[in-house]
Every structure is written in C-alpha cells, then in structure tokens.
C-alpha cells in the first residue's frame, strides 16, 4: 500500500475537504478512484445500535437486533477490569459481524450530579475507577480490530442546554476530576478516536479548542487518532479544523464542505492543516478495512455473557437475613410491573434492539412457584387502589414479598435531565404499604442513577440491579436465590436526598453557563469532607459471605516522590459461601494549607475466594497517587507530608490503616511580593530563620499580636508604621535575592 503522504497528494482539494465530513449519519465518504473505502460507525456503548441504511439518527428504536449488555452505570459496580475487557471483546466481535469499524463508546463523563439524564451511560463519580474501566473496555474492543471512540470530551456532565452551555471549571478541577479518565484511556489503550462534546468549556466550544484538542490531547497525552464531533455539535467548521477536530458528523449535506473549501482557497486556513486531518482519518479507515473479518457471532453465548456481567455488577445494598431465598418451603410473591417487563436500558442514542429479554417472572419458574401481583402502573399514573390492594393481600399471604421497582425509561434518557431523585410516588406507596404487612420485604431496583428511598429502614433487603441489560431477569433470580453471590460495589454515592449532593446549588444553567462551584468535591470527596450522612456510600456492597482483612504491610516507612510504595494485605473469606470482594485502597491526604479531598481512591482489586481461603493482595503506588495538580506548575505536584494508606470495603468502611512519609522534590516557584504573608515566608526553608527572628523583634518592639503578624502581608509593615514604604520595597528585593 502506498504511503498516506503519497495518497493525499493524489487527492484534489475538493476530495480532501469532502473526507472531513460524513457521507450520511453513519459513514465516512469513500473515494473509489484511489481506493479509499468508507468507514461505518455505530452507537454504543453497551450494545451495537446499527441502523438500516436509510434510517435517520433520531429514529432511536429503529436498529438491527443486537445483544443489550448492562449499561456503564451497572458494569462500573463490578470493579472488574477483566470483565470490562471481555465486554469490549464481545462488542468488537458483534461489530465485526456487522461490518462496523468504529463503535461510539465508551462514554466516561464524570457523574457530577445524580440528575444527569445520561448518567446510566457513564461509569462513576470517581476518575480513577472511570479510567481503569474505560481502558480495559477499549483494549478489549480494539483487540478485535474495531476502533473505540472515547466520548464525550469534555465536561459534558448534563443534558440541559448541552449544545450551548459553557461548563465553567477551574484548571485544577479539570485535571484532577474531569480529565484523568480520558488521560489514562488515551495513554494506555490508545483509542482510534475521541468525540468532542457539544458544550463549551470556559467559554470556548470544545470542538474549536486548540488547547484541548491539540495541545492537551495530542501534544501532552500522545493521542494519535482522529477527533470526531458529536452529532450536530459543529459551531464553526473552520475554527474546528484549525483546533484539530478532523471529522464532522453527520455530513450536514455538504454545506460545511463549501465553507472549508473557500477557507482554504482564501488562505484562511493552511492546506497542510487540512492534509493532517485527512491523514489522521485515513490511517484509521485503512486500519479498519485491513482488520475486517468474516465472523459469525453466537448471540446465545453473548447473551450468557450479558447475564454474567449483570450478576457480577449487581449491588446488594442491604440484607437483614431474608436473602438468599430458599428454593422450596417458602411462599413467594413477586410484585411490580418490572418483574414481567423489566427496565434494562436507558433512552436515547444508546437504545438497543435486544436479542432476547429475560424476565424474572419467567426465570423463577424453573426454581419454584411464585405468585404475582402487578402492584402499580408505570409512568407515575395516579394510584390504582385495586392493584395496591391486590399486592398487599398477596404479600400478607406469603412468607416473602419481592417488589420490583424502579424508574420508567421516560425518567432518564438522553436530551434532558431528571428534575428529582424520587421513584414514582405509586411505587414508594406500594413498598411502604407492603412492608407494613410483610416483614420479609425485598426490593429489587431497576434504575440508571441514585434514587431516594423513604422506605429504606422498613424493608429487609434491597438489591440494586441498575440497568442490567437483556439478561436482567435470570441474573436477578440467580442472585435472589443464592445461585450467585452479589459482589458489586457502588460506583457512585447514594445521597439521602437530592438537596445533599455537592452540585445541588450549581447545576442550573444561567446565561448559558453552568458553574462547577463544588470544584474538586464531587461525590464521596464532598460527603467525606462534610462528614455527611449518606444513604449508601461509594464502594458499598453486601455479600452472602464475610471477609476479613489483616496483616497490612508497607514496603517502606518513608519514600521520595519518585520511589514506588508496595502495599500488601491479606483477605480471607470467613463465611460459608464462595464470594468476591473488592479491596479498595484510598490515600488519605495530609492536612496542610492546600485544599484537598480527605481521601481518594487510588487502587482496587477484585478477588475471588472460597470459604476459609486467604489471598494476599498487592498494590503498587507511584508518584501520581500522592500528587495533586498544581495550577502554578501546570503539572502534578507531591506535597511533602504524611499520607494515610487506607484499606477499605467502602469509602466509609475503613478496615486497616497505615502511614507513609513522602518527600516531594519539586519546588514551586514563589516570587515574593509586598502581598506575600509572613506565614508563607516562615514555610520557606531559605527564609524561615530570618523571618522568625524578625517576627519576634516586631512582637517585642511594637507590641503586636503574633497571630496577627503571621497572617499579615509584608506591605502591612508600613501601615503599622514599623517601616516606611521604601524599606518595604527594599525588604522584598532582599528576600527575592535570598530565595534564589
């Protein structure tokens, strides 16, 4: 094959421009005379939404039959990178079978608010967990010769005004919360493509931001693929191409092709910039063409994988002894519409036409007899007294009542955000009334994001299935009856009420801006700093067995920032069931002048243990695990201090604790000015002794309170008539010389 440089040189200007926009909603343009094929892309991220050739984007439910795997909100709770890799491989196989070269996923935006309409498509509130899972997913998908399109970059954390709103975020928060998932996935998994988001970031459309698309993605992180716009996201095509946005989707009927063509001809944009975009795109187009294989996928096998993923991801939020259910000897009631018509996916562009839907009511027939009552109508209809009465009477007559509740699809979908965190009122009423007559009430939840639970203390057990894909019914029944042991952990915090979440006061779009006023304090970082009660904490999940942690070992008691720290802990299954435990390692930050979260998830591992089995779990921490992003340095910085090493079962269940002294090496440049405080000068090792002596003199000679002196800026010396302004300026000059 000829080189890309040679190939591009054979193209006319019109052909090069044409390649930078789609042929239709799902294909890039082909140029037959130079053997450039078309690349087909399709929506994901938890299944293949391949539409017929004449289908339009907004015809969301018009797609080919495919396996609907659990959504990202669900799979994140597995805390299992190998499972996510297998999911990626399965999706890659389905893409190959359908001649799809690029899958639009994974979606990894941080869950800033529980109200986000597409939260079910996103992994977590935590950037480390997000990055690990996204990396595994991409590696699995691209092993099968199909490209991943990492989306939506960046800070597209809500649906409200998503095409015009500007996310106003400070530099440090961007690099510590909203960028790390993208950074890790790009550096380690090398996705073929990144999708630029609809929104503006700090006033600039992401798709027109040279600093984001070129300086950050390509130059700093080493991204070597092509950047595609979200569908209909292009504001100014010339500015977007200059910034590094290579492909506009969909094609916009060629209107922007004319705009680009005129811009090149009139020297508004260098043709070399256009050539680079064409080369980046063609590199992946040809890679897809070369990787194309004739394969046949066993949908039955993939359906079983969907079930396995659902089982591994489900979270047992609460269990006071009723679970697992007995397979005989109990009279069981299944109550709720979702028992026979489960909610298993969200609405919008990720909506899959499923291969086979398993219901809990059908799946349980192979195990035991169960009575059913509908209990409620979907879509928050007025209370149906007849259905409620039937459910209550059935619950009275049984030993255990299992209520299948959750959010209708209209409550959470692309295009808009939720207005509240409540279940439909008729469902809350049903749960509360059944719990009054049946002490063994179990609630199975089908939802893509946290919900308030006014009945949490009135029921015996709660099984969070999230949106578990087409095999949700069988997975749920296996978990209820103990044929599988729940091992999922929450990838997001469930607050007690909507008003508790950190962005509650700042999610509203004002003058086309949304202000990220909570800054670093997203999810558990906020609740821990505030010491607030939550409904269920990040990382929480129960099991039918028990686990014990002991013998925490740190390889060193003190390290320099560039030295690794090895952490080991023994984990033992002390119960009677085979089970899996997610061992979570948090680093507790030192308490200093810098505002930092109390602790942050830095590592995790999922281990499988038979009863009485012990396994040693090993983690290796590096510089980044102790760092925060320093805006002055525009880089990661390790603060010298003592850090806590916390081994935990959740962000609130710390089992073992160790400490490590870390010595930072990087010096933050500090120019001393008249506004530099004496406190800051005291902390400078070069100036500490001199300033301490000066403060003591001032304290004695001028009868000034030492606490007041420490927080005073140098210029205040003149205000208190200790020295004149000329002496203040001379002192600043001397201090800067001594500080070099």
Q: Give catalytic residues, as residue numbers.
A: 230
Asked whether 569 and 599 are in contact (CB, 8 A), the reply is no
Long-range contacts of 457-463 (CB under 8 A, 24+ apart): 458/431, 458/432, 459/318, 459/431, 459/435, 460/318, 460/319, 460/320, 460/321, 460/322, 461/316, 461/318, 461/319, 461/320, 461/322, 461/323, 462/316, 462/317, 462/318, 463/314, 463/315, 463/316, 463/317, 463/323
Q: Which residues of 24-47 are buried (b: 16+ CB within 10 A; e: fewer)?
A: bbbbbbebeeeebbbbbbbbbbbb
Token pair of 196 as six digits: 């630029």
Alpha helices by DSSP H, listed for 225-270, are 237-243, 255-265
Residue 680 CA from chain centroid, whole number: 37
Token pair of 92 as six digits: 């890659």
**What's the rounded Cα separation, in Å, for the pair 522 and 157?**
12
- SS3 of residue 638 by DSSP: strand
**What's the rounded Cα separation, in Å, for the pair 677 and 71?**
52
Residue among 317, 319, 315 at smallest CA distance from 460: 319
Going by DSSP bridges, is the β-strand pair 641-650/653-663 parallel, antiparallel, or unpaired?
antiparallel
**What's the rounded Cα separation, in Å, for the pair 713 and 673?**
9
Classify residue 647 by burial, with Cβ atoms within 10 Å: 0-12, 13-18, 19+.
buried
- SS3 of residue 552 by DSSP: strand
**What's the rounded Cα separation, in Å, for the pair 579 and 663?**
39
Asked whether 243 and 219 are in contact (CB, 8 A), the reply is no
Asked whether 350 and 66 are in contact (CB, 8 A), the reply is no
**What's the rounded Cα separation, in Å, for the pair 264 and 282?**
20
Residue 348, CB-side half-sphere exposure with 13 Å CA sphere = 21
Name the region of 78 (left: φ>0; alpha: ψ -120 to 50; beta: rest). alpha
The DSSP 8-state label assigned to residue 439 in this structure reads: S
The DSSP 8-state label assigned to residue 626 in this structure reads: G
Cα angle 53, 59, 60 (rounded to 5 degrees) comes to 110
- SS3 of residue 619 by DSSP: strand
Residue among 636, 642, 641 at smallest CA distance from 666: 636
């Amino acid at each position: 094959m000829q080189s890309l440089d040679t190939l591009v040189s054979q193209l006319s200007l019109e052909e090069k421009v044409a390649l930078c926009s789609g042929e239709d909603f799902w294909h890039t343009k082909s140029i037959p005379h130079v053997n450039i094929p078309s690349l087909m892309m399709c929506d994901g991220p938890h299944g293949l939404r391949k539409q017929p050739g004449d289908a339009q984007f907004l015809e969301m439910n018009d797609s080919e039959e495919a396996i609907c795997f659990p959504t990202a909100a669900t799979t994140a709770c597995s805390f299992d990178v190998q499972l996510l890799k297998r999911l990626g491989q399965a999706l890659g196989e389905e893409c190959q079978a359908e001649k799809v070269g690029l899958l639009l996923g994974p979606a990894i935006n941080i869950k800033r608010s529980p109200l986000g309409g597409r939260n079910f498509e996103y992994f977590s509130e935590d950037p480390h967990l997000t990055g690990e899972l996204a990396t595994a997913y991409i590696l699995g998908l691209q092993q099968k010769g199909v490209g991943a399109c990492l989306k939506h970059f960046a800070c597209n954390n809500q649906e409200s005004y998503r095409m015009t709103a500007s996310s106003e975020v400070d530099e440090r928060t961007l690099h510590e919360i909203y960028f790390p998932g993208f950074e890790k996935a790009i550096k380690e998994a090398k996705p073929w493509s990144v999708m630029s988001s609809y929104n503006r970031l700090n006033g600039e459309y992401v798709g027109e931001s040279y600093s984001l698309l070129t300086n950050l993605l390509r130059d700093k992180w080493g991204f070597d693929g092509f950047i595609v716009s979200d569908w209909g996201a292009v504001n100014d095509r010339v500015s977007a191409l200059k910034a590094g946005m290579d492909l506009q989707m969909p094609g916009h009927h060629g209107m922007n092709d004319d705009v680009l063509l005129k811009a090149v001809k009139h020297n508004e944009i260098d043709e070399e910039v256009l050539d680079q975009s064409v080369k980046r795109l063609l590199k992946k187009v040809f890679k897809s063409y070369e990787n194309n294989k004739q394969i046949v996928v066993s949908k039955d096998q993939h359906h079983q994988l969907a079930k396995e993923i659902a089982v591994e991801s489900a979270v047992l939020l609460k269990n006071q002894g009723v679970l697992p259910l007995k397979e005989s000897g109990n009279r069981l009631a299944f109550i709720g519409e979702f028992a026979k018509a489960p909610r298993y996916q969200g609405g919008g562009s990720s909506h899959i036409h499923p291969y086979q839907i398993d219901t809990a009511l059908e799946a349980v027939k192979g195990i035991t007899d169960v009575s059913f009552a509908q209990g409620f109508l979907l879509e928050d209809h007025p209370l149906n007294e007849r259905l409620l009465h039937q459910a209550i009477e059935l619950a009275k007559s049984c030993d255990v009542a299992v209520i299948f509740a959750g959010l209708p699809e209209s409550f959470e979908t692309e295009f808009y955000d939720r207005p509240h965190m409540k279940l439909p009122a008729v469902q809350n009423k049903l749960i509360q009334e059944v719990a009054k007559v049946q002490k063994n009430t179990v609630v199975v939840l089908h939802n893509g994001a946290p919900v308030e639970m006014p009945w949490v203390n009135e029921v015996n057990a709660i099984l969070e299935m999230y949106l578990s894909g087409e095999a949700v019914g069988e997975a749920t029944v296996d978990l209820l009856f103990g044929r599988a042991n729940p091992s999922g952990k929450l990838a997001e915090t469930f607050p007690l009420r909507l008003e508790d979440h950190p962005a509650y006061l700042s999610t509203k779009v004002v003058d086309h801006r949304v202000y990220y006023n909570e800054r670093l304090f997203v999810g558990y970082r906020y609740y821990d700093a505030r010491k607030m009660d939550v409904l269920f904490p990040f990382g929480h999940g129960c099991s039918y067995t028990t686990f014990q942690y002991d013998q925490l070992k740190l390889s060193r008691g003190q390290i320099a920032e560039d030295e690794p720290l090895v952490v080991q802990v023994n984990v033992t299954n002390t119960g009677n069931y085979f089970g899996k435990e997610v061992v979570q390692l948090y680093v507790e930050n030192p308490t200093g002048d810098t505002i930092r979260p109390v602790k942050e998830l830095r590592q995790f591992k999922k281990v499988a243990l038979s009863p009485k089995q012990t396994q040693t779990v090993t983690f290796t921490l590096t510089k980044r695990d102790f760092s925060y992003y320093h805006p002055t340095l525009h880089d990661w910085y390790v603060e010298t201090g003592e850090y806590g090493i916390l081994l935990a079962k959740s962000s609130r269940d710390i089992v073992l604790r160790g400490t490590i002294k870390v010595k930072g090496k990087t010096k933050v440049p500090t120019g001393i000015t008249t506004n530099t405080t004496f406190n800051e000068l005291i902390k400078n090792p070069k100036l500490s002794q001199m300033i301490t002596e000066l403060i003591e003199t001032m304290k004695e000679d001028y009868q000034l309170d030492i606490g007041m002196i420490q927080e005073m800026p140098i210029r205040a010396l003149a205000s208190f008539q200790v020295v004149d302004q000329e002496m203040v300026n001379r002192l600043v000059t001397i201090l800067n010389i001594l500080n070099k």
